Amino acid sequence: MALLITGFTKCGLCGEVIEAHHQFHSFAAFIPPGHRLHGFSDASVHQSCLLNCEDYQGLMHLYAGYQQIYERRPLPSPEEAKNFTHWYNNSEDIKSWQAELAQFWSQNS
Ligand SMILES: [Zn+2]
């Protein structure tokens, strides 16, 4: 999730500082580099700016689709978690999940 420091972080759409009394939305780093909406990845925006953004519907569609895949991500067993990097780099479940995610982005670029 994007790091947001109220009174310091700027809205990714209007460029104004997001204050503590503002309504805002912070996105996870979910859109790959090169995608036309990558600027929203790991970014915070005012809620009002987001709602008025011409990409709002498309962005919400992407976010919902990504979250459905993300929630299906494989997780290691407690034993596998002891050597997480080895598990992650060698898991067929991870490779399959990454392929599903890559397919999602190829269909939604
Ligand atoms: Zn804004």
pLDDT at 76: 95
Integer Cα distance of 84 and 76 in angstroms: 7
What is the whole-number distance in angstroms between the Cα of residue 17 and the centre of ligand 1? 8
Provide the strand spans (E) within 27-109.
Answer: 44-46
Where do we find the tokens 């898991």? 91
What is the whole-number distance in angstroms between the Cα of residue 16 and the centre of ligand 1? 6
Q: For every one of its 109 residues, what pLDDT tens digit does the chain have, with 9 covering 90 and above?
A: 678 899 999 999 999 999 999 999 999 899 999 999 999 999 999 999 999 999 999 999 999 999 999 999 999 999 999 999 999 999 999 999 999 999 999 999 8
The amino acid at residue 55 is D
Buried b (16+ CB within 10 A) or exposed e, 63-93: beebeeeeeeeeebeeeeeeeeeebeeeeee
What is the whole-number distance in angstroms between the Cα of residue 68 and the centre of ligand 1? 27
pLDDT at 3: 82
What is the three-class DSSP state of 29? coil
DSSP state of 38: G
pLDDT at 97: 96
Indicate the pTM of the whole model: 0.78
